[in-house]
């Protein structure tokens, strides 16, 4: 299913010229998400869609800046800096990656993920701050000379330690998703109870090609050993940056955690970063964020994630990888009133997919809205609300309509299913098929969609 940005009333800032343009930008990105999975339209996305989005974003920034100037908005300079960052660094870096990779799927994913995350994050924070609905997230950035020193230092370290030639994608990185990642948070504290934190985000393929390459690890999966090496290299990385800033000398490492993407993203909602960069290294994306909560009067260590200690490192990292891997797995919702079938399907698919079960149409709708599964397997012959009625409901809901649905039928019901062909089921599976055949059909379908 294609990703979609859902517009909500609370995003409105109350200025028509700005709100309308935000909705338009959401719409353009949604069209690009939809076209990404449609071969016949992908060319439009690459040749026209990206330019169309960029032109609209530029026009919108100019209009919004004119509005901010007209009301003497106190946060104008900071807000313009965030716009400048996006128009002068983020968009050109993403476009360069697209061109250099001949519009690879990875580069398209980076473009859509970073732009959608940026637009959503920026609209709900910075833009709403214009009319006083929230407080700006970027008011506590380090002074420009320190920002620039840190940025250059990171680029130099990436070259020294990993032989990477990094390009800045963003100087105001707000946690936008750039692919499957590993997020490592280091907390440092001083005797006076002050603390600062650094979060390093590695795209998995970057870890595999750099550290995996150095260690001659051929696996295509991030392992406990690889994470352990990454932890120690990351600590040295931060130490080198720390030495460069004399004021941080008295700080010692107090805690380290591994975070899921959702946990990583929460940091940006909870605390304002003093420095936050996203880099394209050519082999994967790398994020480096610094948060000094004591500057904001907050000295408690908070946040979730897996705390890593010497005595539990092996088992905790193993658990982290398991959960992280599960969060990358495609989601399948199985809707069937028979407990036997639900259990059999879960046993069959639970190893490779994140499976959720529902025993009725009503509970399925609730789960669908919350989880947005990648595929629904729907019993055709359920009581009360049968599969056909369910599919009709799914197709009538804007944010569910694109989810592919396979009917599960108790017998060879080709004719029956043909009757509802206008509702566009993605296929149907006869329950009496051998489990391996059912699994193969689903694997083939998911593979085809992933390649689209
Ligand atoms: Fe609506 Fe600040 O961009």
CB of 256 closer than 6 A to ligand 1? no
Segment 65-74 shows an average pLDDT of: 97
Separation of alpha carbons 254 and 190, rounded Å: 9
Mean pLDDT of 137-166: 91
pLDDT at 302 over 80: no
> Is 301 a residue whose pLDDT tops 60?
no
Which atom from ligand 1 is nearest to the alpha carbon of 21? 1
User: Mean per-residue pLDDT for 414-419?
Assistant: 64
Q: Which residue has the higher pLDDT, 129 or 189?
A: 129
Ligand 1 within 6 A of CB of 203: no
271 C-beta closer than 6 A to ligand 1? no
Q: Residue-wise over 134-172: b if at least 16 C-beta within 10 A, else e?
A: eebbbebbbeeeebeebbebbbebbeebbebebebbbbb
Q: Which residues contact 419 (CB under 8 A, 6 or more apart)?
A: 388
**% of the chain residues with pLDDT over 90:** 37
- Give the model's confidence band at 42: pLDDT under 50 very low, under 70 low, under 90 confident, else very high: confident
Q: Which atom from ligand 1 is nearest to the alpha carbon of 126? A: 2
Q: Give the Cα separation of 108 and 373 in Å (integer).
A: 22
Question: Exposed, middle or buried: residue 234 (CB in 10 Å: 0-12, 13-18, 19+)?
Answer: buried
Position in ligand 1 atom list of the atom nearest CA 18: 1
Q: How far apart are CA 267 and CA 224, in angstroms?
A: 25
Q: Distance of alpha carbon 313 from its chain centroid, rounded?
A: 26
pLDDT reported for residue 417: 62
**Does 280 sit in the ligand 1 pocket, CB within 6 Å?**
no
Ligand 1 lined by 25 (C-beta under 6 Å): no
- Would you say residue 105 has pLDDT above 50? yes
> How would residue 393 be classed by pLDDT, with cut points 50, 70 and 90?
confident
**Sequence-distant contacts of 149-155: CB under 8 A, at least 24 apart:** 149/244, 150/241, 150/244, 150/245, 150/275, 150/277, 150/290, 151/277, 153/240, 153/241, 153/244, 154/241, 154/277, 154/279, 154/288, 155/279
- Atom number of ligand 1 nearest to Cα 82: 2
- Using the mean position of ligand 1's atoms as its centre, give its distance from the Cα of residue 80 in Å: 9
Ligand 1 geometric centre to CA of 88 (Å): 15
Alpha carbon of 51 to ligand 1 centroid (Å): 18
pLDDT at 288 over 90: yes
Q: Decide if pLDDT at 111 tops 90.
A: yes
Rounded to the nearest whole angstrom, what is the distance from the C-alpha of residue 128 to the centroid of ligand 1? 9
Q: Decide if 182 contacts 324 (C-beta within 8 A).
A: yes
> Atom 2 of ligand 1 has which residue's CA nearest to it?
127
**Distance from the CA of 132 to the center of ligand 1, in angstroms?**
14
pLDDT of residue 64: 97
CB of 64 shorter than 6 A to ligand 1: yes
Alpha-carbon Rg for the chain, nearest whole angstrom, is 24
Q: What's the pLDDT at 3? A: 67
- Could you tell me if the CB of 381 is within 6 A of ligand 1? no
CA of residue 122 to ligand 1 center, whole Å: 7
Cα–Cα distance between 309 and 293 in angstroms, integer? 23
Residue 342 CB less than 6 A away from ligand 1: no
Q: What is the pLDDT of the chain when averaged over all its residues?
A: 85
| Ligand 1 within 6 A of CB of 185 | no
Residue 420 CA to ligand 1 center (angstroms) comes to 44
Please report which helix (H) or strand (E) contains residue 418, including its range. helix 414-419
Q: How far is the CA of 398 from the centre of ligand 1 (A)?
A: 26
Residue 102 pLDDT class (50, 70, 90 cuts): confident
Ligand 1 pocket residue status of 336, Cβ below 6 Å: no
**Is any ligand 1 atom within 6 A of the Cβ of residue 57?**
no
Please tell me the distance between residue 61's alpha carbon and the centre of ligand 1 in angstroms: 6
56 CA distance to ligand 1 middle (Å): 11
What residues form DSSP beta bridges with 364?
Answer: none
Report which of residues 296 and 343 the model is more confident about. 343
CA angle, 326 as apex, 325 and 331 as ends, to 5°? 130
Of the pLDDT bands very low, low, confident and very high (cuts 50, 70, 90), residue 59 is very high
Across 35-44, 188-197, 213-222, 299-308, which has the greatest mean pLDDT? 188-197
- pLDDT band at 1; cut points 50, 70, 90: very low
Q: Is 176 in the pocket of ligand 1 (CB under 6 A)?
A: no
**248 pLDDT above the threshold of 80:** no
Higher-confidence residue: 390 or 158? 158
Nearest-atom number in ligand 1 for the CA of 130 is: 2
Query: Would the CB of 374 count as within 6 Å of ligand 1?
Result: no
pLDDT at 84: 96
Q: How does 292-312 read in b/e, with b if 16+ C-beta sit within 10 Å?
A: bbbeeeeeeeebebbebeeee
pTM: 0.74
Q: What pLDDT is recorded for position 110? A: 92
CA distance 278 to 172: 8
Does ligand 1 lie within 6 Å of residue 126's CB atom? yes
Calculate how far, in angstroms, residue 21's C-alpha sits from the geometric centre of ligand 1. Answer: 9
């Amino acid at each position: 299913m294609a990703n979609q940005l859902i517009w909500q009333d609370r995003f409105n800032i109350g200025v028509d010229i700005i709100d309308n343009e935000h909705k338009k930008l959401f719409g353009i990105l949604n069209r690009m998400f939809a076209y990404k999975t449609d071969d016949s339209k992908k060319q439009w996305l690459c040749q026209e869609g990206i330019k169309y989005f960029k032109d609209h974003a530029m026009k919108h920034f100019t209009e919004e800046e004119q509005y901010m100037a007209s009301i003497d908005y106190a946060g104008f300079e900071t807000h313009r800096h965030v716009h400048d960052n996006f128009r002068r660094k983020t968009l050109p870096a993403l476009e360069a990656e697209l061109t250099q990779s001949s519009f690879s799927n990875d580069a398209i994913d980076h473009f859509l993920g970073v732009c959608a995350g940026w637009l959503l994050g920026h609209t709900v924070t910075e833009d709403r701050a214009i009319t006083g609905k929230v407080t700006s997230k970027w008011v506590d950035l380090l002074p420009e000379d320190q920002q620039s020193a840190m940025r250059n230092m990171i680029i130099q370290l990436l070259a020294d330690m990993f032989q990477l030639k990094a390009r800045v994608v963003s100087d105001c990185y707000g946690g936008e998703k750039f692919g499957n990642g590993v997020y490592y948070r280091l907390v440092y504290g001083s005797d006076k109870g002050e603390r600062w934190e650094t979060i390093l985000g590695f795209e998995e393929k970057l870890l595999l090609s750099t550290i995996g390459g150095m260690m001659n690890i051929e696996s295509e999966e991030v392992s406990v050993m690889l994470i352990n090496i990454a932890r120690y290299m990351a600590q040295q990385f931060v130490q080198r940056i720390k030495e460069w800033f004399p004021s941080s000398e008295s700080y010692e490492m107090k805690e380290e955690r591994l975070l899921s993407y959702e946990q990583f993203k929460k940091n940006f909602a909870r605390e304002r970063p003093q420095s936050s960069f996203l880099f394209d290294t050519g082999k994967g994306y790398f994020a480096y964020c610094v948060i000094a909560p004591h500057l904001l009067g907050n000295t408690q260590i908070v946040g979730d994630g897996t705390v890593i200690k010497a005595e539990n490192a092996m088992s905790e990292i193993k658990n982290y990888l398991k959960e992280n891997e599960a969060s990358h797995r495609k989601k399948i919702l199985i809707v069937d009133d028979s407990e036997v079938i639900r259990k059999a399907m879960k046993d069959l698919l639970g190893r490779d997919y994140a499976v959720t079960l529902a025993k009725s149409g009503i509970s399925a709708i609730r789960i669908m809205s919350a989880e947005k599964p990648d595929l629904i397997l729907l019993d055709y012959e359920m009581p009360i609300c049968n599969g056909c009625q369910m599919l009709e409901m799914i197709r009538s809901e804007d944010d569910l309509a694109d989810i592919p649905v396979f009917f599960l039928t108790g017998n060879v019901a080709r004719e029956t299913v043909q009757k509802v062909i206008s509702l566009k089921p993605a296929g149907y599976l006869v329950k009496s098929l051998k489990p391996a055949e059912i699994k193969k059909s689903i694997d083939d379908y998911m593979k085809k969609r992933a390649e689209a």
